[in-house]
Amino acid sequence: RVPTGPLSLLLALSLLSPRGSAGASCPPRCVCASNLLSCSQANLSAVPAPLPRFTAVLDLSHNNVTRLRADWAPARLPHLHALLLSHNGLTFVSTEAFAHVPRLRHLDLSSNRLRTLDENLFSDLGELEVLLLYNNEITTVDRTAFENLGRLRKLYLGQNRISRFPLELLREGTRLPQLALLDLSANRLRAVPAGELQALPAWLRDRLYLHNNPLACDCLLFQLLDRGHRRHLSAVVDFQDELRCVLPGAPASIKILALAGQQPLNCSKAQEAVLEAHLGDSVTLGCDSRWQGVRSRHWVTPGGERVLGDGGNGSMVLLANGSLQLQALRPEDAGTYACWVAGPLLNETLYVELLVHNFTLHGPHDTLNTAYTTLVGCILSVVLVLIYLYLTPCRCCCCRGTEKPPAPRDDSINSSVLSTTPNHAGGTGEPCGSHITSSAGTGQNGRFKGGGTPPLPARQGPKAQRKVSDPDSVSSVFSDTPIVV
């Protein structure tokens, strides 16, 4: 039975429409399928309006939309997560163009004619994950253009005219903490901070593309790429022939990985992971895997001990990020440590060599450095010289040049050297000039010769001076004569 009447006619027309029930809300020259709107190759010069509120994917590629103004989406599109605007000849994008699409996760602006990325251009896209800007004419990138892109994972900027990219955005993951791919290939970069790039995690260096740039040859750059080649990083291995640099005065570029041992730079290969420390130090061994989604990891010590948690004596601790912390280093802690990583696709093993130095010979543990030690030595030398010159004790002026004669002794070979009788010199307390010394029998410096016999002084009074040693002395230990009192 065929329905009749105006209502029945509208129902029949809607059933015969090729776009089904969504045909009434689909923009002209576009194809709608559920929440997908395809307006590609429709010869559009502006974004069609109105756009359905349920739109999740909007394809406007291969058209003539040269300017993306702030009012291209007058109403909020809460479900839009993919916007494709490639091959449109875009020359201008408003900083407010994405205010009504906060849920956008995929934005394709490739193959256009954009020249600058202005300040806070993408700051409204807090959930953006993939941004395609390759094959444009970009020369200037403002460091705040990617502000608030905390979830951005892939950024394609290849085939542009960029001479300097703010790589400080990658430092410590402050601006782009989730970034896992950065394509800067085929630009005009002449130098890159190789030291800062080496400090980046390996999972980011694995997708940091720098090929087809007129880079200046540098040994730090060579060592950066050489480490990446040995680690099998895809950004180096897959494009090693396109990674070239220019030497001063050279007519053509050469391969960066061919700089080892070649003049004029004569670059040397760098060791992969060598860490130096001193006795008693605390160090952290990093497990720099090129896999971002690591399922599990563990360490193996030089002695073959497997570390899963705290060490046996508490000196080894496995941190939450996979690093191994060693406390109070000992000489036996030196050696090669292995970190075993179970990645999402393949497993990986990393090796870290630890050198432990004696703190008394190296580095910051020296109590006195060389300059301070030299200064202290010079000061002590001056003080000792002054003490020698001014504080050395000396004899009285009247006695200078003379010496007190030794006690008289007999020339007998039997004189006792062990006599208990003290030797007294006569005339104690007399002035220096009263002593009369004889030149006979004296040797050098006024001393008596060993074989000489000193003259006996004259007796003075009943208490005459006793000879120093006498064979008949009652105190002689060699005498056979009995002691008589």
The answer to the question of residue 150 being in a domain is: no
- Asked if residue 331 has pLDDT above 50, the reply is yes
**Short-list 185, 193, 70, CA closest to 121:** 70
> How far is the C-alpha of 56 from the C-alpha of 37, rounded, in Å?
8
pTM (global) more than 0.75: no
Q: Is the pLDDT of residue 436 over 50?
A: no
* Domain assignment present for 281: yes
Measured torsion, CA atoms of residues 144, 145, 150, 156, in degrees rounded to the nearest 10: -140
What is residue 419's predicted lDDT score, i.e. its pLDDT?
43
pLDDT in tens, 400-421: 444 555 555 444 444 444 444 4
Is the pLDDT reported for residue 456 higher than 60? no
Confidence of residue 19 (pLDDT cuts 50, 70, 90): very low
Question: Could you tell me the pLDDT band of residue 174, with boundaries at 50, 70 and 90?
Answer: low
pLDDT of residue 72: 92
pLDDT band at residue 275 using 50, 70 and 90 as cut-offs? confident
Q: Match 């090929």 to its residue by tokens.
A: 211
User: Containing domain of residue 337, as a range?
Assistant: 275-357
The domain total for the chain is: 1
Pick left, alpha or beta for residue 458 (phi over 0 → left; psi -120 to 50 → alpha; otherwise beta).
beta
Q: Decide if pLDDT at 170 tops 50.
A: yes
Residue 108: exposed, middle, or buried by beta-carbon count in 10 A (0-12, 13-18, 19+)? buried
Instruction: Decide if 326 is inside a domain.
Output: yes
Rounded CA-CA distance 50/76 in Å is: 11
Whether 331 maps to a domain, the answer reads: yes
Query: How far is the C-alpha of 118 from the C-alpha of 141, rounded, in Å?
Result: 7
Is residue 185 pLDDT above 60, yes or no?
yes
pLDDT tens string 27-54: 888 999 989 999 999 999 999 988 998 8
Question: Per mean pLDDT, which range of 103-117, 250-264, 313-327, 443-457 is the poorest?
Answer: 443-457
Residue 468 has pLDDT above 60, yes or no: no
What is the arithmetic mean of pLDDT over 97-104? 93
Query: According to the model, what pLDDT value does residue 292 have?
Result: 76
Q: In this structure, is residue 468 part of a structural domain?
A: no
Contact 194, 243 (CB under 8 A): no
For residues 429 and 210, the model is more confident at: 210
Task: For Cα atoms 8, 13, 19, give the angle at the middle one, nearest 5 degrees.
Answer: 140
Percent pLDDT > 70 in the chain is 70
pLDDT reported for residue 425: 44
* Confidence label for 375 from pLDDT (cuts 50, 70 and 90): confident
Sorting pLDDT into bands at 50, 70 and 90, what band is 104? Answer: very high
Position 322 scores a pLDDT of: 81
Residue 313, pLDDT score: 54
Q: Which two three-digit tokens encode residue 43?
A: 């010869």
pLDDT in tens, 236-263: 999 999 999 998 888 889 999 988 877 7
Task: Identify the CATH number of the domain in which residue 319 sits.
Answer: 2.60.40.10
**Mean pLDDT score of the chain, rounded to an integer?**
76
Which of 62-71, 350-359, 447-456 has the highest mean predicted lDDT (pLDDT)? 62-71
Is residue 191 a part of any domain in this protein?
Answer: no
327 lies in some domain: yes
User: What is the pLDDT at residue 367?
Assistant: 46
Instruction: Read off the pLDDT of residues 333-371 as tens digits, 9 standing for 90 and up.
Output: 888 888 878 877 777 777 788 888 875 444 444 445 566
Band of residue 160 on the pLDDT scale cut at 50, 70, 90? very high
